[in-house]
Amino acid sequence: MASEKILIVEDTEDVSAAVGETFTDAGFRVKVAASGEEAMKAFYDTRPDLVLLDVLLPGLSGFELCERMRSMSSVPVIMFTALGNEREKILAFEKGADDYVVKGTGMGELLARVGALLRRASLGSPQKQEIERYIDAEIEIDFGKRSVAIRGEEVELTPTEYKILTLLVKQRGQPVPAEQLLHGVWGREYDTEELVKWHIGHLRKKVEKDQANPLLIVTRRGFGYVYAAPDVKAEAA
């Protein structure tokens, strides 16, 4: 039985009741909030393991909530909304969401996505790494602190962006297929490679000098994505 805490932020009562019942039956501990203000209070009070977040809410929007939650926590956030166009999805990922599920998706798939993100969060807990620090001419990663500096300036990556970057860096010089990134970062329950494309685009905005002409995270058509490492200065064991 699961015992993780799920915060459901949804102002439509029948939707929150149905989703809450599904997760309760699956063994999760569920807290429901119906507005942005209630959601932030519940976030502080309950410290959830995952947030299921609607976009259209009284008070703060789901996008604003996601940005606030991400600024203080790496807790997984799934946007769960009726808005399904690409613009909203891109904005959600820019605010730090880990996934985006359109209402009407089956409850079985929703449960699977939640389970995959929770397992990923658990595996991402601090533990001893084979190497503690990676440094090249452009980038420095401290695996213990989970921090990244680009050309000497520390950058704020979302947990998803950090996982993609570190996976690519650890296989630097080798093409990593989108499917491998998808399964390695989100889990085998996921089959939407568009997730990889969106997050790679956001990551490039933060690490490339020119996003339109990437030199670090390179696309190899038909093979995947490559971290094209400049000269490596050091790897501290």
Cβ atoms of 217 and 203 within 8 Å: the answer is: yes
Q: In this structure, are 25 and 77 located in the same domain? A: yes
Question: Which of 62, 89, 123 finishes a domain?
Answer: 123
Contact residues for 111 (Cβ-Cβ < 8 A; gap 6+) = 22, 23, 26
Which pLDDT score is estimated for 129? 43
Question: Which of 99, 123, 147 finishes a domain?
Answer: 123
CB-count burial class (<10 Å; 0-12, 13-18, 19+) for 142: middle
* Positions in the chain short of pLDDT 50: 1, 125-129, 233-237
Domain of residue 152, CATH code? 1.10.10.10
| DSSP 3-state of 12 | coil
Residue 232 belongs to a domain: yes
Nearest residue to 197 via CA among 189, 186, 188: 186
Question: Which of 85, 104, 123 finishes a domain?
Answer: 123
**Full-model pTM:** 0.67
* Spatial separation of the C-alpha atoms in residues 215 and 158, rounded to whole Å: 21
Number of folded domains that form the chain? 2
Nearest residue to 33 via CA among 56, 5, 51, 7: 7
Q: Side chain identity at 194, as an amino acid letter?
A: E
Which pLDDT score is estimated for 120? 78
Give pLDDT tens digits for 202-229. Answer: 899 999 999 889 999 999 988 999 999 8
Cβ atoms of 39 and 7 within 8 Å: the answer is: yes
Q: In this structure, are 110 and 49 located in the same domain? A: yes
Q: In this structure, are 141 and 113 located in the same domain? A: no
DSSP 9: E
Chain centre to alpha carbon of residue 156: 13
Which pLDDT score is estimated for 128? 41
Q: In this structure, are 112 and 173 located in the same domain? A: no
Residue 128 belongs to a domain: no
Give pLDDT tens digits for 4-39. Answer: 999 999 999 999 999 999 999 999 999 999 999 999
Cα torsion at 9, 10, 11, 17 (round to 10°)? -120
Write out the residue range of the structural domain in which residue 9 sits: 5-123
Radius of gyration of the chain (CA): 18
- Output the six-digit token pair for 198: 């969106």
